[in-house]
Amino acid sequence: MNESGRLRVLLADDQPLLRMGFRLILEGEDGLEVVGEASDGADAVRQVGHLDPDVVLMDVRMPTLDGIEATRAITGSGSRARIIILTTFDLDEYAFAGLQAGASAFLLKDVAPAELVQAVRVVASGDAVVAPRVTQRLLEMYVRGAGPAVSDGPGTPGTAAPPAAAPAPRDPLLEDLTPRETEMLEAMSEGLSNAEIAHRYFLSEATVKTHVRRILTKLHLRDRVQAVVYAYETGLVTPSNPDY
């Protein structure tokens, strides 16, 4: 966020019409500013370095450098930018790869304007995950290695998604969490919002936010969605429905 208090957004997509549509929606809102556009992942990485946006809307499939590798490069550089992966369907294996690479959320490209604006604000705040239950469903599918077919391109039959690796051994960092913080992490992994967690455990939302911040600090994670990915990948949380 710049000195004027406006959220700075970078658009990265190889479709000019889509970028134009998102720009029109975002710039029609108070407090939002589109500071740049990129037509491929390599350009997105460069522009993040120059423009220091708060949020990047990142298409997964772009020439030169795809959105997954661009996301990995941006998060690996230590940039404070939060990344929202743009995809065409909700159980996209590339969206899952984007979350693993450090993205904070994903959205469908046909998202309603109000949801797009809300997503940008939510991700910038770091307090919640966009469409948490959809994110949870995505994680359950791909952590189990039971994802839908992987398409090789338009009109090309897909093949089964490769099996996911077995969960890693329990991370010693988990031992640094208090029992209450472990409960909070498990609740976050269910897709519960701060308000829902507060209601479940008879806490104030402010207290829940404090627990979430401590969890992220102890586990060296960027935001809530990374905490959810971490919980699934380390085996702290397992898919709720084995027949999903």
Provide the pLDDT for residue 3: 59
Q: Which residue reads 């046909």 in tokens?
A: 110
Q: Which two tokens mark 210? A: 């404090």
pTM: 0.75
Strands (E) across 16-131 are located at 32-38, 55-59, 82-87, 105-108
Positions in the chain short of pLDDT 70: 1-4, 90-92, 127-140, 142-170, 239-244
Please check whether residue 140 is in contact with residue 239, taking contact to mean a CB–CB distance below 8 angstroms: yes
Provide the pLDDT for residue 4: 62
Residue 63 CA to residue 67 CA, distance in Å, equals 9
Provide the pLDDT for residue 136: 64
The burial of 153, by beta-carbon neighbours within 10 Å (0-12 exposed, 13-18 middle, 19 or more buried), is given as: exposed
**Closest of 99, 18, 97, 82 to residue 48, by C-alpha:** 82
Read off the amino acid at residue 107.
L
